[in-house]
């Protein structure tokens, strides 16, 4: 009898599951199942088979959100900063290169022993000639990645992938003061989309670029423009790969993101860096006050910061191709901007693109 007690006591303790453990286990298992579904859909797309859109229900989104992705992302970030022994660097980085198809010949430093930790390897710089900036077109790709969607914004809705949309106002947040952006005051009855268009005859356009883990993780200015305002939305850190973007409506509105707003020669211009699982760290080089993936935040909250001041009334001028920021791993860049009606994209949905290549022009 004593022997039985000795063996069964640990078993009884193992089955005393707390609600948090149940949520983590259930949510993690479901997330794994979704990863398998994403892989299956990608294989069907490669074979040219069109996959019908099937959106997640509210309980599925809630279950996915129960996975502590913010905590896991912070843990991943700390792990990335651990210095690896010199002898271990080449095997670890070589495995990553092989898994995600990284082209190290483009890196400014090809020697794998040079990178002290995974974070330095993720944020590696490129050789200057590796990404020539296109001078013939007005808007270039700010990063390497895959084009998920592009086109005109219609009815205040933006497509994150074909057939799946999100609200323009939910994504950007309330309109910034017209004084700060030097925009004319739109009539109060106009829609949010119409309020962003400052010049008669212009339209609002968008482009979504997904950065995979193997892509170059820095992003650059897509055009010559002036950054006036930063809005930081704390939020979830769900995966933003195309399979999940096809599954969860308004995915980009759920996730943590940094919205940079300003203007270019044709009016309103914005660039948004969207966080994702293991990408809690979003860095903007000229914004030292920005801190992403904090341990706690209020749901639905955001904080604003203006680059317009008494001493600096022009904001932050950015030149096309200039370094702007970086992710700690792959993620998503969303451009929303105003341009004349004859603006044309030089893209195809699903195509791979590299920083410096043309997105569109007049």
Could you give the residue numbers annotated as active site? 144, 220, 331
**Residue entry with tokens 């007005």:** 138
Q: Is the dihedral angle over the CA atoms 360, 162, 165, 276 positive or is it negative?
A: negative
Which residue in 220, 333, 237 sits closest to 280, CA to CA? 237
Structural tokens at position 145: 């990645």
Cβ neighbours of residue 199 closer than 8 Å, sequence gap 6 or more: 266, 267, 338
As a whole number of angstroms, the distance between CA 198 and CA 184 comes to 7
Structural tokens at position 316: 């932050």
Angle at 69 between CA 65 and CA 117, to 5 degrees: 165
Structural tokens at position 124: 């590696």
């Amino acid at each position: 009898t004593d022997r039985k007690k000795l063996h069964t006591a640990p078993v009884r303790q193992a089955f005393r599951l707390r609600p948090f453990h149940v949520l983590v286990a259930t949510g993690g298992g479901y997330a794994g199942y979704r990863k398998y579904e994403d892989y299956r859909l990608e294989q069907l797309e490669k074979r040219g088979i069109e996959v019908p859109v099937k959106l997640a229900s509210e309980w599925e989104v809630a279950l996915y959100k129960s996975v502590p992705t913010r905590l896991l992302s912070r843990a991943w970030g700390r792990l990335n900063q651990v210095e690896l022994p010199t002898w271990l660097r080449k095997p670890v980085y070589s495995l990553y290169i092989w898994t995600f198809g990284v082209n190290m010949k483009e890196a400014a430093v090809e020697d794998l022993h040079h990178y002290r930790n995974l974070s330095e390897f993720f944020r590696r710089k490129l050789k200057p000639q590796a990404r020539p900036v296109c001078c013939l077109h007005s808007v270039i790709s700010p990063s390497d990645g895959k084009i998920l969607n592009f086109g005109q914004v219609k009815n205040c809705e933006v497509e994150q992938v074909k057939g799946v949309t999100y609200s323009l106002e939910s994504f950007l947040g309330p309109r910034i003061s017209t004084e700060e952006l030097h925009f004319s005051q739109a009539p109060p009855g106009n829609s949010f989309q119409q309020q962003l268009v400052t010049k008669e005859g212009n339209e609002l356009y968008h482009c979504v670029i997904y950065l995979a883990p193997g892509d170059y993780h820095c992003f650059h200015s897509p055009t010559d423009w002036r950054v006036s305002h930063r809005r930081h939305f704390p939020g979830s850190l769900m995966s933003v790969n195309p399979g999940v973007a096809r599954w969860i409506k308004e995915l980009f509105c759920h996730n943590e993101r940094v919205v940079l707003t300003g203007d270019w020669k044709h009016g309103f211009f914005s660039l948004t860096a969207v966080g994702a699982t293991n990408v809690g760290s979003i860095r903007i080089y000229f914004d030292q006050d920005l801190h992403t993936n904090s341990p706690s935040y209020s749901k639905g909250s955001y904080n604003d910061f203006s680059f317009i001041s008494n001493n600096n009334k022009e904001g932050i001028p950015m030149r096309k191709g200039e370094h702007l920021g970086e992710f700690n791993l792959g993620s998503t860049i969303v451009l929303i901007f105003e341009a004349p009606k004859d603006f044309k994209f030089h893209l195809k949905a699903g195509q791979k693109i590299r920083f410096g290549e043309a997105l569109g022009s007049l």
